[in-house]
Amino acid sequence: MSSQDLVTIKPENRPTDLLQEVENLKFQGYRFVQICCTRVPEGFELTYSFDKDYELKNLRFTLADGEGITSITSLYLPAFVCENEIHDLFGVPINHIAKGLDFGGKFFRLAEKTPWHDLPKGGAH
């Protein structure tokens, strides 16, 4: 497996597939590494990365604007840091974050609400 491995989850199979895939990875001994959110014209592209024996496995899917996703903190508690960050910066709703770890939009003290929600203007775009 190369460290650039990417498994794409089809929209119709989410969110059941996400939790199922993550549970499979946990069962296989994978370590949670990160969640990356990227603003794309179709919505928000989410990439979940996991590691085992220094090899990465990435799960990828795209959410439409306003669409929410279930938290994976029930399987990997440390994901709350990335999930709160994605919620605060991009405005992606993350449901069922572990008790006491859902900061409800107050994880980051921001001057502007969800500053990375809109598609970037200028630069590369």
Touching other proteins, residues 17-36 (CB under 8 A): 31-34, 36
Angle at 15 between CA 14 and CA 17, to 5 degrees: 70
Contact between 7 and other proteins by CB under 8 A: the answer reads: no
Task: In whole angstroms, give the CA distance from residue 121 to residue 91.
Answer: 18
Q: Which of 80, 87, 90, 97 binds other proteins (CB under 8 A)?
A: 80
Of the pair 8, 16, the CB lying nearest other proteins is at 8
On the 0-12 / 13-18 / 19+ scale of CB atoms within 10 A, 103 is middle
Contact between 122 and other proteins by CB under 8 A: the answer reads: yes
Q: Which of 38, 52, 95, 113 binds other proteins (CB under 8 A)?
A: 38
DSSP conformational letter for 59: E
